[in-house]
A and B are shown apart, each in its own frame.
Chain A
């Protein structure tokens, strides 16, 4: 009975009940869920370009929480409303986890296997490229390209990803490669 906070408060004539007397044994045992993490991974906020540091708390292959990294000289532990919502961004139920396919004139999405989808895209790239190849302009200047394929990339992709995008498309002769950075 005496562990019940209200009893403690009456016994101690504690009207405010702000301190120790308001604690139950359960309260005493409470911990931030980040304490249960089996690893903490250094990360960077994926929204704007300030580049705030983030710490990703992981337990058994699941993300428990994402917090600001106090070590960062840029953000010193802070995150803005968007940065603070990163946990929901990456773990939320909104995320699509299957490849979806809409056939020409189709009225609905269909699920198809990832491997098949990549192969289908590769085939289409080859066809569009081969059928629309430009060797040279009218004056004979080399073009070595296709104008039938284009790309638009977001600016929250990694540098390493952009590097492969530019390299592969350049290798294929695709020149209409653009980015949010133009916008």
Chain B
């Protein structure tokens, strides 16, 4: 965090000054470790074993926050009789289908929940937990709490030592520190970044942290939570108003070909009978009104038949694989540098070579724009520029100082940046480019009478300014174009239009709330008048949990939002994330639907049952509880189960994406992890062209321990070559004690650290770490595993014409344990799921 989010880390240091204990878990000793109280070096890819052991520690030592757990989580819920745990099948949950390589997820449901009803639901069981299907004493053998205890029983400190390389004393210190610092009077927070997400089990890493935080009562309370430290100015915004294949703005799912045949079925499959998603239809109708304007009417199903549908996983890696197979004609790349920043760089370039045309928009001539004249393939003499048929357009982009617009930061805060000057030359914002392109396309299709062209004819397209777009995002009444106050004003009768319901209120009364810049010192410590947070300017989600079931603060020290009996409403330092006049005593009648089902003790209003999920009864491909699986490529057998890897992981078995053996591959004996440096930004497009930053970090390097250096005669400051079955790179050697060999199962394992910022253009150049990494992904979100894989290292530079050795030999079968057979991927689409992204 100190390296990649330095200014955010300042507040961690402030907390330390006030007595907070900082624990840093990372394979490397970094600037964060240097100021942390406890540094825990860990083997990359083994975090679930570590976190699972903390869960086990909390449960076996009765350290959980009982009142919180019983009331606010699904711990008392009784699970279906059909449920079978990884304890029963040696690492697989019940319901595994060897044919489809998928689970029958109806076996993970709550007792009493109709499986048919639950299928297709975005966020879980479609009804609240009924009291008759719970056990508040937490003793029922099939209640979530007892299942949790059994599932994590084998996650012991000894396992942590042998899987993660963390000594029992150090483990104990971490677990005890966390437990001691949680409860009524104290809270602990988790911060993570892509070191947790870029794994074949990335989602389950986060789930593990969620279980710990729910057990300790650290969610929805000040000083608690799980903070995703996102790495780009508006990466949160890019998920909220997604440019993602499976989502529409505000986390509404893209229509699916097989199920969402018309507007009514789209609603039926996505609206929840209970919880806040009962409001789904209002948001869907308002979005279609924002897209298609007057053309969208009740009679024509709000133009739902203009919407394209998805019938598979059309995410980044699948798109690039399809591109490399010649199926894609044109590709737009805007503010992104995939030949450096995305995995398997050579496959990325192969994809670009197969295109008819490519549009790149950026500030500089990045590698993705110049792939046709500068690439390792051309460098090695395998290809010539003139052999590449792709037509390339490079459009110079406007900088953020040359355009108005909002970024959404990592804490869901929309902040407006004002245009300071005009863009130079042909430089243009994406807003202006898309607007102009849209006008031209509308003109090209103006006279068409084909039904398929109605969508482009009908979409409303009148945007004189960025603020006019924000107004549409905020929503307005269709009759007079007046901005709505917030999402509670949205209707399902076509009288309102809203481009993104969770952002509704950001332009209330025609005031750009995101541009508010009231001094921090002139408002309360929550600073509600600085910019605007979604939803509804709430700075902390699910903050009803900061009060006890009766609505009183858990403690004076941790007071945040509470029920005021006199005013009959929720009040506090923040805007309550709850129905403001719903008393703690409210219990829904049996026939209640939608938001009326949210009881006075249901802080997690977006869940159909209002509870924090220790057990994820729906929504995940790879199991309702986190389970330790080794990365696709590991140096170790899975000590916990016979099942080596996540059985539902996504693989791309193709000649241009070879895998190593699952474990102990003698050719690739070391673990590699990639990371960022303070002085550079991701794939370098915004840093390698600047002399100020280039001077600070001028060259690609690899971090190795003195022990590994001695083994391979690597000299500090000298060169090393690192290779995998996918590619080969060279880097300067940094021999450092910041990386230590870890002792597991009686042997030493070595880890190599690689920053990934460099490539062949810019002021400072070097090889790109992503040449080494293959396509393999998490089944829930299709994110690649780039934080743990195996490789080999040797002293010296790579040969200019040396190819990656013996590719044919690499194609051998992975000798996996029988359970995973050859699970060729699981990137078959699961139509009923909505994958959500998280990077």
Residues 64-117 of A contacting B (Cβ, < 8 Å): 66, 69, 71-76, 78-86, 88-90, 92, 94-109, 114, 117
* Stretch among B129-137, B316-324, B488-496 lining the A interface: B316-324
Residues 355-398 of B contacting A (Cβ, < 8 Å): 356-357, 359, 363-365, 369, 372-373, 385-396
Q: Which of A49, A144, A149, A177 contacts B231 (CB 8 A)?
A: A49
Q: A100-B394, A148-B328, A154-B232 are in contact. Are A159 and B406 (CB under 8 A)?
A: yes
CA distance A86 to B233 in the complex (A): 13
Encoded as 1 (CB less than 8 Å from any A CB) or 0, chain B from 500 to 544 comes to 100100000000000101111000000100100000000000000
| B241 A166 Cβ-Cβ under 8 A | yes
Point out which of B10, B335, B687 has the most chain A C-beta atoms below 10 A from its C-beta: B335
Residues 231-281 of B contacting A (Cβ, < 8 Å): 231-245, 248-249, 254, 257-258, 261
A120 adjacent to chain B (CB < 8 Å): yes
B665 adjacent to chain A (CB < 8 Å): no
| A161 B430 Cβ-Cβ under 8 A | yes
Q: Which of A88, A170, A173 contacts B690 (CB 8 A)?
A: A88
Q: A88-B690, A180-B238 are in contact. Are A149 and B329 (CB under 8 A)?
A: yes
B681 adjacent to chain A (CB < 8 Å): yes
What's the minimum C-beta distance from B335 to chain A, rounded to whole angstroms? Answer: 3
CA distance A143 to B309 in the complex (A): 5
Measured CB to CB, the nearest residue on chain A to B247 is A166
What's the minimum C-beta distance from A98 to chain B, rounded to whole angstroms? Answer: 5
What's the minimum C-beta distance from B499 to chain A, rounded to whole angstroms? Answer: 6
CA distance A142 to B310 in the complex (A): 10
Residues 407-450 of B contacting A (Cβ, < 8 Å): 407-411, 413-422, 424-431, 433-438, 440-441, 444-445
CA distance A75 to B527 in the complex (A): 13
CA distance A181 to B7 in the complex (A): 22
| A126 B444 Cβ-Cβ under 8 A | yes
B783 adjacent to chain A (CB < 8 Å): yes
What's the minimum C-beta distance from A10 to chain B, rounded to whole angstroms? Answer: 40
| B257 A69 Cβ-Cβ under 8 A | no
Q: Which of B394, B417, B441, B690 contacts A109 (CB 8 A)?
A: B394
CA distance A86 to B241 in the complex (A): 25
| B357 A159 Cβ-Cβ under 8 A | no
A135 adjacent to chain B (CB < 8 Å): yes
CA distance A86 to B363 in the complex (A): 13
B403 adjacent to chain A (CB < 8 Å): yes
* Stretch among A1-9, A17-25, A28-36, A53-61 lining the B interface: A53-61
Encoded as 1 (CB less than 8 Å from any B CB) or 0, chain A from 158 to 177 comes to 11111111111011111111
Measured CB to CB, the nearest residue on chain A to B526 is A73
Q: CB-CB < 8 A to B781: which residues of A?
A: 182
B336 adjacent to chain A (CB < 8 Å): yes
* Stretch among B56-64, B73-81, B468-476, B740-748 lining the A interface: B468-476
| A151 B687 Cβ-Cβ under 8 A | no
| B357 A51 Cβ-Cβ under 8 A | no
Point out which of B234, B248, B356, B503 has the most chain A C-beta atoms below 10 A from its C-beta: B234
Encoded as 1 (CB less than 8 Å from any B CB) or 0, chain A from 123 to 164 comes to 111101000110101010111110111111111111111111
| A71 B519 Cβ-Cβ under 8 A | yes
Q: CB-CB < 8 A to B335: which residues of A?
A: 153-157
CA distance A94 to B480 in the complex (A): 47
Q: A73-B530, A168-B441 are in contact. Are A117 and B395 (CB under 8 A)?
A: yes
| B238 A78 Cβ-Cβ under 8 A | no
What's the minimum C-beta distance from B736 to chain A, rounded to whole angstroms? Answer: 21
CA distance A111 to B256 in the complex (A): 42
Encoded as 1 (CB less than 8 Å from any A CB) or 0, chain B from 608 to 620 comes to 0000000000000
| B445 A126 Cβ-Cβ under 8 A | yes
CA distance A43 to B419 in the complex (A): 8
What's the minimum C-beta distance from B197 to chain A, rounded to whole angstroms? Answer: 9
| A182 B401 Cβ-Cβ under 8 A | no
| B291 A97 Cβ-Cβ under 8 A | no
CA distance A90 to B401 in the complex (A): 7
* Stretch among B155-163, B300-308, B570-578 lining the A interface: B300-308
| B363 A48 Cβ-Cβ under 8 A | no
CA distance A164 to B469 in the complex (A): 8
Q: Which of B242, B372, B396, B418 contacts A97 (CB 8 A)?
A: B396
CA distance A183 to B232 in the complex (A): 11
| B515 A42 Cβ-Cβ under 8 A | yes
| B693 A124 Cβ-Cβ under 8 A | no
| B402 A124 Cβ-Cβ under 8 A | no
Q: Which of A66, A125, A176 contacts B319 (CB 8 A)?
A: A176
| B403 A158 Cβ-Cβ under 8 A | yes
Q: CB-CB < 8 A to A49: which residues of B?
A: 5, 229-236, 409-410
* Stretch among B85-93, B452-460, B559-567, B700-708 lining the A interface: B452-460
CA distance A92 to B261 in the complex (A): 52
Q: A72-B530, A90-B402 are in contact. Are A122 and B437 (CB under 8 A)?
A: yes
| A155 B233 Cβ-Cβ under 8 A | yes
| B341 A90 Cβ-Cβ under 8 A | no
Which size class do A's interface residues fall under?
35 or more
| B393 A117 Cβ-Cβ under 8 A | yes
What's the minimum C-beta distance from A100 to chain B, rounded to whole angstroms? Answer: 4
Q: Which of A97, A100, A141, A171 contacts B261 (CB 8 A)?
A: A141
CA distance A49 to B620 in the complex (A): 27
| A158 B415 Cβ-Cβ under 8 A | no
| B233 A51 Cβ-Cβ under 8 A | yes
B405 adjacent to chain A (CB < 8 Å): yes
Q: Which of B393, B441, B458 contacts A126 (CB 8 A)?
A: B441
B664 adjacent to chain A (CB < 8 Å): no
| A96 B364 Cβ-Cβ under 8 A | yes
Q: CB-CB < 8 A to A46: which residues of B?
A: 233, 399-400, 407, 417, 686
| B421 A71 Cβ-Cβ under 8 A | no
Q: CB-CB < 8 A to A42: which residues of B?
A: 416-418, 515, 517
Q: CB-CB < 8 A to B680: which residues of A?
A: 82
A121 adjacent to chain B (CB < 8 Å): yes
CA distance A101 to B365 in the complex (A): 12
Measured CB to CB, the nearest residue on chain B to A78 is B7
| A121 B359 Cβ-Cβ under 8 A | yes
B332 adjacent to chain A (CB < 8 Å): yes
| B690 A85 Cβ-Cβ under 8 A | yes
| B393 A160 Cβ-Cβ under 8 A | no
Encoded as 1 (CB less than 8 Å from any A CB) or 0, chain B from 818 to 839 comes to 0000000000000000000111
Q: CB-CB < 8 A to B429: which residues of A?
A: 158, 161
CA distance A132 to B327 in the complex (A): 10
| A51 B409 Cβ-Cβ under 8 A | yes
| A178 B316 Cβ-Cβ under 8 A | yes
Measured CB to CB, the nearest residue on chain B to A151 is B332
Q: A50-B410, A52-B7, A147-B327 are in contact. Are A182 and B469 (CB under 8 A)?
A: no
Q: CB-CB < 8 A to A56: which residues of B?
A: 401, 418, 420
| A96 B5 Cβ-Cβ under 8 A | no
Q: Which of B237, B424, B458 contacts A95 (CB 8 A)?
A: B424
| A164 B463 Cβ-Cβ under 8 A | yes
B338 adjacent to chain A (CB < 8 Å): yes
| B452 A133 Cβ-Cβ under 8 A | yes
| B470 A160 Cβ-Cβ under 8 A | yes
Q: Which of A106, A123, A168 contacts B434 (CB 8 A)?
A: A168
| A104 B389 Cβ-Cβ under 8 A | yes
| B254 A153 Cβ-Cβ under 8 A | no
CA distance A79 to B10 in the complex (A): 11
Q: CB-CB < 8 A to A153: which residues of B?
A: 238, 243, 332, 334-336, 430
Q: CB-CB < 8 A to A61: which residues of B?
A: 421-422
CA distance A175 to B232 in the complex (A): 23
CA distance A145 to B373 in the complex (A): 33
| B327 A183 Cβ-Cβ under 8 A | no
Closest CB pairs A-B (n = 3): A154-B335, A158-B405, A51-B409
7 more A-B residue pairs beyond the given contacts A132-B329, A179-B242, with a C-beta to C-beta distance below 8 A: A41-B418, A144-B305, A151-B331, A163-B249, A180-B336, A180-B839, A181-B243
List residues of chain A with CB under 8 Å of any chain B CB: 39, 41-54, 56, 58, 61-63, 66, 69, 71-76, 78-86, 88-90, 92, 94-109, 114, 117-126, 128, 132-133, 135, 137, 139, 141-145, 147-168, 170-183
